[in-house]
Amino acid sequence: MKTKLIYLLLYIILLSVTSCIPQRKLRYLQEQKESSIDTTTNNKIDKTYRLKAKDEIYLKVNSVDPRTYAFFNSSDANSNIFNSDLGLYLNSYTISDSGTIQLPVAGKIKISGLNITEASATIEQVLKKYLNDVSITLKLSGFKITLLGEVKRPGRYNPYVSQLNIMEALALAGDMTAYGNRTKIMIIREENGKEHIKYVNLLDKNLLQTSDFNLLPNDIVYVESLNAKTWGFETFPYALILSSLTTFIALMALIKTF
């Protein structure tokens, strides 16, 4: 009987040890002995976000003449709906597949491929042909991102930023769970009308030097699970089993004393 109890205890201890997640699999941005990232070429990559088709932008025309900015800016700007996500969407411009937006009087203006500063300057230069004393306020209407899989709060998020990296995106969802596979984060992205999949390794410090570190609007980030969860160990009742085993051993010892 005693031998069986010892074997059972050893089995439970072994089970708990094998189901634990090593710290080296949880720490972000570590030094890697064999990194798959070529840092000699990726250092030269421009990481500034550039506008593309289907991006939504908020555009405000500023002028000393109230009639000018009232004509270009939405009449809903002072209403309550404007202070909501719906209001921002309704008062935004969507960049067409040809990379342009269309403004009253000025017509189509191509801004795809430009960053926010360059696009603002381009639009302002066009409007100055028709208006005096005009300036432009241009922003992304939101950086919509979807986070799925082993994150604490999966869902679709819309932070009001012009650029977002993968670490900031995961922070929106409360970070990954302990069972998220940090070496294989899937990013689903639309490019040229087709969905493409790429993977990033968050344990590799060299990721900071690549364009993959920054996300694009409408990206879908999926965090796969480690084998530990796949095997069903996430909710294994270790405390209950160990306490029951301890109680059983104590009772057996008590019985033997009588």
pTM for this model (two decimals): 0.68
- According to the model, what pLDDT value does residue 2 have? 54
Q: pLDDT per position in the chain (258 positions), as tens?
A: 556 555 555 555 555 544 555 555 656 666 666 666 665 555 455 667 889 888 889 888 887 777 666 667 765 445 554 556 666 667 788 999 899 999 888 899 999 999 999 999 999 999 888 888 888 889 888 788 999 999 999 999 999 888 899 999 999 999 999 889 998 899 999 887 788 999 999 988 888 888 889 999 999 999 999 875 544 444 555 565 666 666 666 666 656 665
∠ CA 217-221-226, nearest 5°, is 170
Phi-psi region of 198 (alpha: psi -120 to 50; beta: other; left: phi over 0): beta
- CA end-to-end span of the chain, whole Å? 17
- According to the model, what pLDDT value does residue 170 have? 95
d(CA 108, CA 97): 12
Q: Token pair for residue 50?
A: 């550039």
Burial label, 10 (beta-carbon count in 10 A; 0-12, 13-18, 19+): exposed
Contact yes or no for 145/169 (Cβ under 8 A): yes
- According to the model, what pLDDT value does residue 126 have? 92
